Structure 1
Amino acid sequence: MKIPKILQPLVEDGVIDTVLGQLQSGKEANIYLVRSGGATRCAKAYKEAKHRGFHKLAEYQEGRKVRGSRDARAMARRGRHGREVEETQWKNAEVEALYRLADAGVRVPVPYGVFDRVLLMELVLDAEGNTAPQLHEVELDLETARAWFAFMIRQIQRMLCAGLIHGDLSEYNVLVDAHGPVIIDLPQAVNAAGNN
């Protein structure tokens, strides 16, 4: 596979050994299967703001803190600097949420670092070692469905205890690995106390 332009610097710096293929293309990012440090991992390459088709951005940014009043004013004016601050904030939201939720015991992919617009993280696999399916793709018997529902409620409680709300938690943002549900796709994570 030809190395995508956004991943080329990571290959040149030795962060990624090789790009194996593209797993998914979404409205916010493209997901690639990569080899890194002898392991197969996932590289989430965020699209630039002008290429993202995300219509609820303002709702998810509500209550996010900005370091300086200059940055807050720039974001409100929507000028070049404001868009840059907004873009940095968007990329960092998922990384910060992943680390925070992992520390709180929430089942999320293990993050290995963020490099410019690329998040390197654990590749979630099913019991057979294949890429894990989304929850909506899995048929459940009644007993498993009830157990996983109770598990997800506990995960949501842990997220709240960590001060976060997913913002877009659905059967499309939950993968099923060999041990059950894993919550993914956290750029929309918001502060539980600061967002309506």
Structure 2
Amino acid sequence: MKTPKRIEPLVEAGLVDEVIRPLMSGKEAAVYVVRCGEELRVAKVYKEANKRSFRQAADYQEGRKVRNSRDARAMAKGSKYGRKGQEDAWQNAEVAALFRLASAGVRVPKPYDFLEGVLLMELVDDGEGDAAPRLNDVDLHPDDAREFHAFMIHEVVKMLCAGLVHGDLSEFNVLLDPGGPVIIDLPQAVDAAG
């Protein structure tokens, strides 16, 4: 497969050896399966602000704080500098949340690197090398459903203890690998106190 332009910096930096195939594309990013040495990983390429389709983008950012008052003013005014700052903050939110939640023991894909709007992270697989299915795409026995529900409640508690709220947790943002549910898609994560 031809390397997408946005992944080229990762290839040049030696972080990605080959783009295998597209995995999926959503409202905020396109995800590709990539080879890094002997491992398969995913590269999540964030879409630029003018190519995303959020109906409630402001709601997703409500609990976020900007430390620099100049940046906060620029973002509030909507200046070119402010829009770039907002974009950077939005993209960095998932990266920061993944590292924070992984260190808190929450089942999320392991993040490896973030470069120029591309997040390189673990490929959550089905145990046979294919991408794990979303919870929404799996028919569960009632006993399994109850077990996964209890597990997810514990994961939500761990997230809250780490100070984060997912912001968009649903059956579409949970993958099912052989070890159970894995929470994905965290760009809407916000500070729990916010």
Q: TM-score, normalised by structure 1?
A: 0.97
- Which residue number in structure 1 is paired with residue 189 of structure 2? 189
Structure 2 contact 9–116 (Cα < 8 Å) conserved: no
Asked whether 1:120 is paired with 2:117, we answer no
| Letter in structure 2 aligned against 1:188 | Q
Matches for 1:143-162 after TM superposition, within 5 Å: 143-162=143-162
Question: Following TM superposition, by how much is the alpha carbon of 1:163 offset from its aligned partner in structure 2, in angstroms?
Answer: 0.5
Distance 2:127 2:13 in 1: 33
- Which residue number in structure 1 is paired with residue 57 of structure 2? 57
Distance 1:146 1:167 in 2: 23
Asked whether 1:164 is paired with 2:164, we answer yes
- Which residue number in structure 1 is paired with residue 10 of structure 2? 10
Distance 2:134 2:33 in 1: 16
DSSP 3-state at the match of 1:6: helix
Q: Deviations over 1:10-48 (max 9, x none)?
A: 112211100001000111000000001321000000011
- Which residue number in structure 1 is paired with residue 83 of structure 2? 83
For structure 2, the 5+ residue unaligned runs are: none
Q: Deviations over 1:85-130 (max 9, x none)?
A: 1001001100000011111110000000101100000000013332
Question: Following TM superposition, by how much is the alpha carbon of 1:67 offset from its aligned partner in structure 2, in angstroms?
Answer: 2.2
Question: Following TM superposition, by how much is the alpha carbon of 1:54 offset from its aligned partner in structure 2, in angstroms?
Answer: 1.4
Distance 1:54 1:16 in 2: 30
Q: Deviations over 1:117-155 (max 9, x none)?
A: 000000000133321000011111111111100000000
Q: Deviations over 1:50-87 (max 9, x none)?
A: 11111211111113111211110111111101101100
Structure 2 contact 27–53 (Cα < 8 Å) conserved: yes
Question: Following TM superposition, by how much is the alpha carbon of 1:193 offset from its aligned partner in structure 2, in angstroms?
Answer: 0.5
Distance 1:63 1:172 in 2: 22
Distance 1:4 1:54 in 2: 24
For structure 1, the 5+ residue unaligned runs are: none
Question: Following TM superposition, by how much is the alpha carbon of 1:2 offset from its aligned partner in structure 2, in angstroms?
Answer: 1.1
Query: RMSD in angstroms over aligned alpha carbons?
Result: 0.8
Pick which of 117-126 and 61-70 moved more: 61-70
Identical columns (%): 61
Distance 2:167 2:34 in 1: 28
- Which residue number in structure 2 is paired with residue 70 of structure 1? 70
Q: Deviations over 1:150-195 (max 9, x none)?
A: 000000000000010000000000000011100000000001111x
DSSP 3-state at the match of 1:2: coil
Matches for 1:28-47 after TM superposition, within 5 Å: 28-47=28-47
Q: TM-score, normalised by structure 2?
A: 0.98
Asked whether 1:175 is paired with 2:168, we answer no
